[in-house]
Amino acid sequence: MLSPAQTLLRLEDAGRYASGKWLVRGVDLTVDRGEIVTLIGPNGSGKSTTAKMACGIARPDEGRVIRDPALRIGYVPQKLSVDWTLPLTVSRLMRLTVSLSKADAEAALKEVGIAHLAGADVQTLSGGEFQRAMLARAIARKPDLLILDEPVQGVDFSGEIALYELISEIRGRLGCGILLISHDLHVVMAATDSVVCLNGHVCCKGSPKSVLESPEYRRLFGGRAAATLALYEHHHDHTHLPDGRVLHADGTVTAHCHPDDGHHHGPDATTGQKERGEGDA
Ligand SMILES: Nc1ncnc2c1ncn2[C@@H]1O[C@H](COP(=O)(O)OP(=O)(O)OP(=O)(O)O)[C@@H](O)[C@H]1O
């Protein structure tokens, strides 16, 4: 049973075994409606495997994955198995494995800002446009839960910010829960309600601040962790982006600071590029 009523998904001691080894074990996590939970961890730490268990593509070999059978899930996989030698329009991509009305497909493309690309060949899309198309595909059936496996891959920094902003907007509009996999520690820590750090098992989890401060996280990410923590503590209220806009702690982006914003940047942090270099991989 899932309780309280707002809990969409729960993994209890979930583990997946394949090819004679445990890919990941002992995963406990919940995603509530309206919440963004982010999985972080080094390459091969079991993030995608956990996402696959969460959405039902992979069955747990131990523990349990509990979700309401009626739960609608939208999934953006890390990789797509498509024969790219064949032409494929965005519109066709939208309906590749799900039955979707033309109107719903068009509405979803509009929602992510690429309605004009419905007839374009997927191969001609930029990295950001492709990720938006994948997002449109995932939200078209108005999911309760979105599972996004590295949704900003192949996207440049300002595109990343725009995509995270869009994801945050979608959460607000659909009122869905989101399980996100991301390597971008800086943005994750600013825009996430809860973080689960994996390393073949759950290494640490909790609020972004508690994860940043945990010795396990620091051991795993080393200097990068310390830099992210320093940034987070100093700029936890808001961060100035390279294009001059302001990323707030709740993940929203505005043109300027709010009058009641707290920490402002010190003289060394006037360029967003530096911040990103410090806080990112
Ligand atoms: N079907 C499979 N059979 C055997 N090993 C697998 C299988 N799927 C994944 N693995 C292995 O399990 C481990 C976890 O993989 P997973 O893709 O979940 O990691 P990840 O944290 O998402 O990595 P990345 O950040 O590189 O995407 C890796 O060592 C991977 O090689």
Full DSSP string of 207-220: SHHHHHH-HHHHHH
Residue nearest to atom 30 of ligand 1 (CA): 44
Atom of ligand 1 nearest to the CA of 78: 27
Confidence (pLDDT) at 155: 85
Residues 6+ apart with CB under 8 A from 45: 24, 198, 199, 200
The ranges of the chain annotated as CATH 3.40.50.300 are: 7-72+143-279
Q: What's the mean pLDDT in 240-260? A: 61
Cα(13) to centroid of ligand 1, in Å?
18
Residue nearest to atom 31 of ligand 1 (CA): 44
CATH of 7-72+143-279, one of 3.40.50.300, 3.40.605.10, 3.10.580.10, 2.40.50.140: 3.40.50.300
Q: Is the Cβ atom of 45 under 6 angstroms away from ligand 1? A: yes
Quick one: pLDDT band at residue 242, thresholds 50, 70, 90?
low
- In the chain, where do the E strands start and end? 7-18, 21-32, 36-40, 62-67, 73-76, 145-149, 177-181, 194-198, 202-206, 238-240, 246-248, 253-254
Q: Express each pLDDT in 103-142 by its tens digit.
A: 999 999 999 999 999 999 999 999 899 999 999 999 998 9
CA dihedral 150, 152, 156, 160 (to 10 degrees): -130
For the cut 90, the answer to whether the pLDDT of residue 192 exceeds it is: no
Task: Give yes or no for a contact between 180 and 204, defined as CB atoms under 8 angstroms apart.
Answer: no
ipTM computed for the complex:
0.97
Quick one: pLDDT band at residue 65, thresholds 50, 70, 90?
very high
- Cα 193 to chain centroid distance, Å, stands at 11
Q: Rounded to two decimals, what is the model's pTM? A: 0.79
Q: What is the mean pLDDT of the chain?
A: 81
Q: Nearest to residue 182, comparing CAs of 193, 192, 171?
A: 192
Confidence (pLDDT) at 89: 93
High-pLDDT (> 90) share of the chain, %? 46
Quick one: pLDDT band at residue 277, thresholds 50, 70, 90?
very low
Q: Between residues 254 and 129, which one has the greater pLDDT?
A: 129
